[in-house]
Homo-oligomer: A and B are copies of this chain.
Amino acid sequence: MTSIALAANGIDYTYPGEVRALKQLDLTIEKGQRLAILGANGSGKTTLLLHLNGTLRPSAGRILIDGRPLSYDRRSLVALRSRVGLVLQEPDDQLFSANVYQDVSFGPLNLGLSEAATRSRIDAALEALRISHLRDRATHMLSFGQKKRVAIAGMLAMQPEILILDEPTAGLDPHGVNHLLSVLHRLHETGTTLVFSTHDVDLAYTWADQIAVFADGTVLKQGEAAAMLADRELLRTARLKMPLILEIAEALYCRRPAWAAIGPPRSKDALLHLLEQTIGGPQ
């Protein structure tokens, strides 16, 4: 049985004086999982993520870490945040220092690590994101994609067990997305639990183990990725569309029901392969 690392249990939240809120939201994050929180803009995804690392405190309901409810005293929060790392969407808002190396050092130093330990953490984090060559660069001279990687490195240097990323691919071009996904892939393989929010159904489909479909401040349904995205009714409610790969595969399946046994293709290549099987090779 898989064990649950972090969970939200019926949480409610209202910003003072505003309407938008989380309503009776449930979410479970299993150890070692890749979970996508999929929803339209402004549906409250960021607000949810800010609850998962204790930045915001729910007005009702609980956040559970290792099955125990989180208490909001300073010590518990510090302990939580050393295990749960959150990277926000906009890298410009989270890079504070003038150069890359200094910026990445912020977290480890706050953890109270020695200088030597901090330096090796920084090296490892820069290496993991393949940006060691940027170490001496000024943060404001970096491109958007580079800034994003530095922001992630800054969190990685704290070695969280659970890494949460808010819209990690937003604003990245295809090349930047691929680079980021390969970094996340390696992280996942070394045991880090990954949670990310996105409105990109194609990304969620090809990359997540589980998807939590999010709309209007609550999780409508959480489950295995392909099952969530094949549910047209659910997608309509959440104002999302079906991933193109799945839509084409479905068109194929409904014509040749027997194929359904293979399971839906999860990548472009799998789809092209399926297509080849269906209509035969080049003539």
Given the known interface contacts A173-B40, A174-B201, the answer about A255 and B272 at a Cβ–Cβ threshold of 8 Å is: no
Nearest B residue (CB) for A143: B42
Is the C-beta of A263 less than 8 angstroms from some C-beta in chain B?
no
- Interface bits A268-283 vs B (CB < 8 Å: 1, else 0): 1001100110111111
At the interface, yes or no: A25 with Cβ under 8 Å from chain B?
no
Give complex CA distance A247, B273 in Å: 12
Interface string of A37-75 (1 = CB under 8 A from B): 000111000000000000000000000000000000000
In the assembled complex, the Cα of A248 lies from the Cα of B246 at a distance in Å of 13
**Interface assignment of A79: CB less than 8 Å from any CB of chain B:** no
- In the complex, A200→B245 CA distance in Å? 17
In the complex, A283 Cα to B239 Cα: how many Å? Answer: 31
Alpha-carbon gap, A71 to B17, bound state (A): 52
Does A251 interact with chain B (Cβ within 8 Å)? yes
A191 contacts chain B at the CB level, 8 A cutoff: no
Contact A42 B144 (CB under 8 A): yes
Measured in the bound complex, the distance between the Cα atoms of B144 and A172 in whole Å is 17
A223 within 8 A of B: no
Nearest opposing residue in chain B for A273, CB measure: B251
Interface residue A116 (Cβ < 8 Å from any Cβ of B): no
Q: How far is the CA of A255 from the CA of B275 in the complex (A)?
A: 11
Question: Shortest Cβ distance from A136 into chain B, in angstroms?
Answer: 16
Tell me the minimal C-beta distance from A277 to chain B in angstroms.
Answer: 11
User: Which residue of chain B lies nearest to A39 when distances are taken between CB atoms in the complex?
Assistant: B173
Identify the interface centre among A175, A201, A281: most chain B CB within 10 Å of its CB.
A175
Chain B proximity mask over A163-178: 1 for CB below 8 Å, otherwise 0? 0000000111111100
Bound complex: CA of A275 vs CA of B245, how far in Å?
Answer: 13
Query: Given A41-B145, A268-B247, A279 and B276 touching (CB < 8 A)?
Result: no
Q: Decide: B252 and A272 in contact? CB cutoff 8 A.
A: no
Say whether A29 faces chain B, with CB atoms less than 8 Å apart: no
A residues sitting closer than 8 Å to B (CB atoms) are: 40-42, 143-145, 170-176, 199, 201, 239-241, 244-245, 247-248, 251-252, 254-257, 268, 271-272, 275-276, 278-283
Can you list 22 A-B pairs, Cβ within 8 angstroms, ordered by A? A41-B143, A41-B171, A41-B173, A42-B143, A42-B144, A42-B145, A170-B171, A173-B239, A173-B240, A174-B199, A174-B240, A244-B245, A244-B268, A248-B275, A251-B275, A255-B279, A255-B280, A255-B281, A255-B283, A256-B283, A257-B283, A279-B279
Question: Which 5 pairs of residues, A with B, have the shortest CB-CB distance?
Answer: A173-B199, A42-B143, A41-B173, A40-B173, A175-B239
